[in-house]
């Protein structure tokens, strides 16, 4: 898996999450917008940190944290959809992007563990 593709997609996803959080805050929703803002942007931050990891175990650990954050973000997206804060199209688009990042992270983690 291309690490730059993972970095690029996680950055694009973070931008989408920031825009979503801004929109939620304009609707006076602050609890979930703060949570999804943190978890959704943390994915890319941990992927970036992995670039300068102190060895393979640290690299894998950073990617595993990013994976956990992506999973948490998926939860917040589902909750926002089920509480009618976001429409189905927005949910499907963001959830698909998040799932794609999770798949790439799992692949990168597994490859790193095998090598």
First to last CA, the chain: 13
Nearest to 40 by CA among 13, 68, 4: 13
pLDDT of residue 28: 93
Residue ranges of the chain with per-residue pLDDT less than 50: 1
pLDDT of residue 1: 45
With H, G, I as helix, E, B as strand and everything else as coil, classify residue 85.
coil
Buried b (16+ CB within 10 A) or exposed e, 53-63: eeeeeebbbbb
> CATH no. for residue 18?
1.20.1440.60
Nearest to 36 by CA among 83, 69, 3, 11: 69
Range of the domain at 68: 3-114
pTM over 0.85: yes
pLDDT of residue 44: 97
Show the tokens assigned to 42: 């943390």
pLDDT of residue 115: 81
Chain segment 81-105, per-residue pLDDT in tens:
999 999 999 999 999 999 999 999 9
Count of domains observed in the chain: 1
């Amino acid at each position: 898996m291309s690490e730059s593709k993972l970095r690029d997609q996680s950055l694009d996803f973070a931008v989408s999450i920031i825009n979503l959080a801004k929109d939620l805050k304009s609707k006076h929703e602050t609890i979930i917008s703060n949570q999804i803002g943190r978890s959704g942007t943390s994915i890319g931050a941990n992927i970036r940190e992995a670039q300068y990891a102190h060895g393979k175990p640290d690299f894998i650990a950073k990617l595993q944290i990013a994976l956990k954050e992506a999973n948490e973000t998926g939860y917040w997206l589902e909750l926002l959809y089920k509480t009618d804060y976001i429409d189905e199209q927005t949910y499907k688009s963001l959830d698909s992007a998040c799932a794609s990042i999770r798949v790439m992270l799992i692949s990168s983690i597994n490859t790193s563990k095998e090598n």
